[in-house]
Amino acid sequence: MTTLTPKQQEIHRRQDQVLDVARSLFGRFGYLGLSMDRIAAELGVAKGTIYQHFANKEEIILALAVGTLEKRIGMFERAALFRGRPRSRMAAIGCAAELFVIRYPDHFELEKVLSCRSIIEKTAENLQRNKTAAELRCISLVGGIVRDAVACGDLELAEPVQPDQVVFGLWSATYGGYSILDCGETIRQMGITDGFRMVREVNNRLLDGFGWKPLSTRFDYNAIFDQVRREIFHDHP
Amino acid sequence: MTTLTPKQQEIHRRQDQVLDVARSLFGRFGYLGLSMDRIAAELGVAKGTIYQHFANKEEIILALAVGTLEKRIGMFERAALFRGRPRSRMAAIGCAAELFVIRYPDHFELEKVLSCRSIIEKTAENLQRNKTAAELRCISLVGGIVRDAVACGDLELAEPVQPDQVVFGLWSATYGGYSILDCGETIRQMGITDGFRMVREVNNRLLDGFGWKPLSTRFDYNAIFDQVRREIFHDHP
DNA sequence: GACATTTTTTGACGGTTCGTCAAAAATTGG
DNA sequence: CCAATTTTTGACGAACCGTCAAAAAATGTC
């Protein structure tokens, strides 16, 4: 286990170096500006060496996305520790999600590239599973809070509605909302200025629609956001 | 105006032929499988000729997306003619959106590719504006229904909430929902089977949360979907 | 430390796609 | 029919891909 030759350690380190360089290049020049040749040049090694670690640039991008997803999991876990009724804890998760998109703005771009069929198809399935697994961890964390709410009576789901449906709704609205804000001129043309407030509002109304108490019309969840920011994520930008 | 030489007419026709071939190639092989050389070969012309019409494959993809967006506008316009209270008319729009993703499944893939910064950046800004304009037409159509609801008292928006916020919410939830369903293994792992029902449900709950009457808990909007399908889109698959 | 063996690195190579542009072909108008 | 204009062509240089035999480095054995 711990018996790694110096050489093997060097190889391990280089894997991270490749990702660092790739992240920088992707951030600066985007998907089309990222190339194996450039990574190799920037790192001062031959191209063949990069191929020892990753089969193509798509797998590098996938690895970058998994990396930031793990950051998000960490933030969600910290947020989930917030003390309060389930809906407040859910607001804390919302706050974490918001801070995540601010702190890791490139993540969305990675996500969008990987959502293209012909691009993700170039990656090995077992690597794709890493990403799915990370997503499922986020989802189950959120699902747990929904179930807590059901258990304590704050949320009553009429027969056919399942807790996962609530999670799906939050995920849709949040992912969709940030996607729309992130890309395209359209939103600016609509005269929308404070996108984050907008996403919060939509999520609040959605949970109100499921009847999750206390309703956002009777309780100020923006205050929770501020509190979570102060108490849990004070070290964040 | 109508004085087009035979040659000019041929050139106009070819523009559409290029798009037809490109749509087919994109559908079969995706973004990475689409190339100017292949289009030219499939169409039996030299590559240079394609470049007379489009500066690169990204502009072709953009044109394809605008094309399907216009189909959607048409469907939304037909749906908006549905007779009923505003919320039922909104349900009719939802039905149109659902039928659209069924009828034009490739549209989402186009949309995802174009949402990547480094890809859309390769297209001319005035072409991007075509897409923005088409999106804004859809949005203003939906916004009109929201305003109708406010005008007739079915929807009361508390002070800071604007009609566009409701539109943004519907757009987020729908776009996000279909995106999530469309791509990735995660959703299957969650055990979600009927994705369309799920998106409908989320939209219903969202509008309930805004207090748009009649609430979905008191009125069956699925029935509206069926009715719209029968009465307006009977010619659709 | 010398040397045989294994592991790692290298970069040249063949292949594909891109976007260009001068020459060739086709069209137009007189 | 011919000169002028427009359109088409495909060869070209450049960039990137992924591979692989040869070179270099590391390892382990005596």
Long-range contacts of B219-223 (CB under 8 A, 24+ apart): B219/B87, B221/B87, B221/B88, B221/B91, B221/B94
A165/B32 CB distance under 8 A = no
Helix axis angle, B6-33 to B106-114, nearest 10°? 80
Which ranges of chain A have pLDDT less than 70? Answer: 1-3
Say if residue B1's pLDDT is above 60. no
B186 interfaces chain A, CB cutoff of 8 Å: yes
- The pLDDT, as a whole number, for residue B205 is 98
Q: CB-CB: which of A30, A171, A189 is closest to B180?
A: A171
Determine the 3-state secondary structure of B44 from DSSP.
Answer: coil
CA dihedral defined by A22, A28, A30, A35, rounded to 10 degrees? Answer: -40
- The pLDDT, as a whole number, for residue A43 is 97
- The pLDDT, as a whole number, for residue A1 is 41
CA A139 to chain centre: 11
Check: CB of residue B118 under 8 Å from CB of residue A31.
Answer: yes
State the Cα–Cα distance between residues B141 and A70, nearest whole angstrom: 40
Protein contacts on strand C: list nucleotides below 7 Å from a Cβ: 7-12, 16-22, 27-29
pLDDT in tens, B134-162: 999 999 999 999 999 999 999 999 888 89
- The pLDDT, as a whole number, for residue A176 is 97
Check: CB of residue B97 under 8 Å from CB of residue B161.
Answer: no
Hey, what amino acid is at A171?
W
Does A237 sit behind a cis peptide bond, omega within 30 degrees of 0 on the bond before it?
no
Check: CB of residue A188 under 8 Å from CB of residue B191.
Answer: no
Protein contacts on strand D: list nucleotides below 7 Å from a Cβ: 6-11, 15-21, 26-28
State the Cα–Cα distance between residues B95 and B159, nearest whole angstrom: 30
- The pLDDT, as a whole number, for residue A184 is 75
C1' of C4 to CA of A149 (Å): 69
Tokens of B235: 């010619």
Check: CB of residue B199 under 8 Å from CB of residue B193.
Answer: no
Say if residue B202's pLDDT is above 80. yes
pLDDT in tens, A162-182: 999 999 999 999 999 999 998
Q: CB-CB: which of B128, B161, B173 is closest to A169?
A: B173
10 Å CB burial of residue A147 (0-12, 13-18, 19+) is middle
- The pLDDT, as a whole number, for residue B5 is 73
State the Cα–Cα distance between residues A97 and A53, nearest whole angstrom: 31
Q: CB-CB: which of B112, B121, B206 is closest to A112?
A: B112
Average pLDDT, chain B: 95
From chain B residues 103-132, the ones with a CB under 8 A of any chain A CB are 109, 112-113, 115-122, 128-129, 132
Q: Which residue of B has its CA nearest to A159?
A: B217
pLDDT in tens, B39-89: 999 999 999 999 999 999 999 999 999 999 999 999 999 999 999 999 999
Mark out the alpha helices in chain A (DSSP H runs): 6-33, 36-43, 47-53, 57-80, 86-103, 106-114, 117-120, 125-151, 163-182, 186-189, 195-209, 221-231
Nucleic acid strand C within 7 Å of A14 CB: yes
Hey, what amino acid is at B34?
L
B207/A209 CB distance under 8 A = yes
- The pLDDT, as a whole number, for residue A3 is 67
B35 interfaces chain A, CB cutoff of 8 Å: no
Residue nearest to nucleotide C7 (CA to C1'): A7
B209 interfaces chain A, CB cutoff of 8 Å: yes
CA A164 to chain centre: 18
Tokens of B177: 């929902």
Which residues of B fall within a CB distance of 8 Å from A202?
165, 168-169, 172-173, 206
Tokens of A155: 């949320």
Hey, what amino acid is at B99?
L
Give the phi and the psi of residue B83 in degrees, each rounded to 5.
Answer: -90, 125
Check: CB of residue B92 under 8 Å from CB of residue B232.
Answer: yes
| Mean pLDDT value of segment B163-170 | 96
**Which of A141, A118, A134, A147 minimizes the C-alpha distance to A56?**
A118
Which residues of B fall within a CB distance of 8 Å from A188?
none
pLDDT in tens, B87-116: 999 999 999 999 999 999 999 999 999 999
**Which of A168, A55, A175, A169 minimizes the C-alpha distance to A111?**
A175
**Residue B26 vs residue B9, higher pLDDT:** B26
- The pLDDT, as a whole number, for residue A170 is 98
Q: Around Cβ B25, how many Cβ atoms within 10 Å?
A: 18
Nucleic acid strand C within 7 Å of B55 CB: yes
| Mean pLDDT value of segment B5-25 | 91
